[in-house]
Amino acid sequence: MSKLQSGEQAPDYGSDPLIFKEMANNLPVLCWMADSDGYITWYNERWHRYCGTTPAEMEGWGWQSVHDPQRLPHVMEAWTGSIASGEAFDMTFPLRGADGVYRPFLTRITPYRDATGEITHWFGINIDVTEQDETARRLKIKSYALERVLAERQAILDQLGEGVIITDAGGEIVYMNERAQILHGQEQLGVSPDDYTAAFQLLTVDREPYPVNDLPLTRAVRDNVTTADSEWVIRRGDGSEILAKGNAKPVYDDNGEKIAAVLTIRDVTKNRANERALKEALEAKEMLLYEVNHRVKNSLQLVTSLLSLQSGQGSPELQKSLENARARIGVVARLHGQLYLTSSHDRIAAGAFLESLVTETVDALKPSDGVRCHTDIVDEVVLLLDQAIPLAIVVSELVTNALKYAFDEKAEGTVSLSVRRMDDGKIRIEIADDGHGLPSGFDPAASSGLGMRVSYALVQQLRGELTFSSSDQGTIFSIMFEPMPLKAEQ
């Protein structure tokens, strides 16, 4: 909006103080008015919401209670000097919010003079500049040398980072701030609701002409509806387009009569472009991780196949070692195969995976048809791959050992798996059988068998504890460990 030239008549969108106060109550800045002697008589609603105060607490000089005590003397000196000289007041100082936190506010206080040049009252605005460095920079370099109240009001709106459009009660546009003009590439006043779409080239996000009756500003005018975070496309005269996001609401006076409507707009084009780029990057990452897991699974399966071929040659001891190695690598291959089938690439539902692993191992290696599998997954446990792989190998080793040694000359038996989350957050995995039990004096920790040594080493890698109990009624191995914290999936 260009500044008014001398002698020009300003558009009357709020010369009545009541209308100005109604509009000021909807601005995202703190506003107030004071008598000619500096006695503050009115604050907008945003001031009281921010400061957590009441009009009675703030009237007059009560505003000092929300100022930083260390800065207050400087503020008082500048303000009283401004009152005495009749000059405008500019300063950045902290104001205390209702949460007790002081935040910097850029403050501008301007005198309003009557026809004789006498100051009748003052207008003040406080703009939060905590996270608006660029806005603060523009505010500092803008000239506040305004001669009339209308120009002061326009400057307040022009300093906002958002575009602001104001209509009268019938919906005719009476004001566009500078940011709104930039967003639209033009300024058009006097436009009625029926012409909003055509005059400003408003499109839906699908690039279709936006139905006039569905526009947020039209709904605020005609249906008295408040809308938030609506999105549409603005096509400017030079052919460029921006994605706009905005809020619209009707404005009422103290009697409940609608006197205006306000639309605020911001440009979210770059935000959406960044979101699209991030989404594409995440999709590319997902595809890459799928491919990695697929290739790892295939590579490990190839290794297990080669080990199977090699195990047919050499001494029985070598054959046994190669077969054990093949089984362990097979467990890791199964894990990567499972990851390939899910949307997660660094974690797995360990309970379901272990249940499947144990069930299939029992079916494949059981010494007789009378040996069965029983699982008890009380709590589903999601583990990172760094813990899931060693845990799966340990469970596989313990189940395999049970099937090999626990049921000699027994026609029937059961191998059990239990997964529980304890009250302290730790995970307890139990592998049990109802076989003959371990030999008297057998110490798994000191066993010469590679499987038990591998199991103890991997449980230490989990920073957990492997314990057992055994009798002629069977054996129970218990693994207790604390799961690593899961980071949010990206």
- Note whether 264 and 244 are within 8 A (CB): no
Tens digits of per-residue pLDDT, 471-489? 888 899 999 999 988 765 5
Taking residues 221-234, report their average pLDDT.
Answer: 87
pLDDT digits (tens, 9 = 90+) for 300-351: 454 455 445 455 555 555 555 555 555 555 555 555 555 545 556 677 788 8
What's the mean pLDDT in 193-208? 87
| CATH number of 29-159, picked from 1.10.8.60, 3.30.70.20, 3.30.450.20, 3.40.50.300 | 3.30.450.20
Local structure of residue 464 (DSSP, 8 states)? -
Q: Which residues, including other chains, have CB under 8 Å from residue 432's CB and lie 6 or more apart? A: 415, 416, 418, 474, 475, 476, 477
CATH: 3.40.50.11540, 3.30.450.20, 3.30.1490.20, 3.40.190.10. Which one for 161-267? 3.30.450.20
pLDDT of residue 95: 92
Q: What is the domain partition of the chain in residue ranges?
A: 29-159, 161-267, 269-345, 346-490
- Amino acid 328: pLDDT: 52
d(CA 139, CA 148): 19
184: which 2 tokens?
């639209």
Backbone φ and ψ for 150, nearest 5 degrees, come out as: -60, -45
Helices (H) and strands (E) in the chain, counts: 14, 18
Q: Which of 113, 52, 39 is nearest to 80 (CA)?
A: 39
pTM for this prediction? 0.39
Among 144, 155, 199, which residue's Cα sits nearest to residue 179? 155
Q: Say what percent of the chain tops pLDDT 90.
A: 16
Asked if pLDDT for residue 98 goes beyond 90, the answer is yes
Cα of first residue to Cα of last residue in the chain, in angstroms, is 45
Greater confidence, 91 or 271? 91
Q: Quick one: pLDDT at residue 388?
A: 81
Give dist(CA 306, CA 323) in Å, integer: 11
Please say whether the beta carbons of 352 and 338 come within 8 A. Answer: no
Does 20 score more than 80 pLDDT?
A: no
pLDDT, position 94: 92
Average pLDDT, stretch 176-186? 82
Task: Establish whether domains 29-159 and 161-267 are of one fold.
Answer: yes
Q: State the Cα–Cα distance between residues 439 and 61, nearest whole angstrom.
A: 90
Q: Quick one: average pLDDT of 289-301?
A: 50
Least confident window among 13-22, 437-446, 476-485: 13-22
Residue 381 is predicted with a pLDDT of 85
Say if CB 418 and CB 376 are below 8 A apart.
yes
Residue 293: enclosing H or E segment and its boundaries?
Answer: helix 269-311
336, 297 in Cβ contact below 8 A?
yes
Please tell me the CATH code under which domain 346-490 is placed: 3.30.565.10
User: Bridge-partner residues for 54, per DSSP?
Assistant: none
Question: Residue 327's closest CA among 390, 259, 373, 396?
Answer: 396
Say if CB 193 and CB 216 are below 8 A apart. Answer: no
Q: At what angle do helices 385-405 and 450-461 cross, to 10 degrees?
A: 150
Question: Looking at the predicted structure, is the pLDDT value of residue 278 above 80?
Answer: no
| Residue range 434-455: mean pLDDT, rounded | 76
Q: What is the pLDDT of residue 181?
A: 82
Pick the range with the lowest mean pLDDT from 76-90, 172-186, 263-277.
263-277
pLDDT of residue 121: 86
Q: Which contiguous run of DSSP H or E holds residue 392?
A: helix 385-405
DSSP 24: H
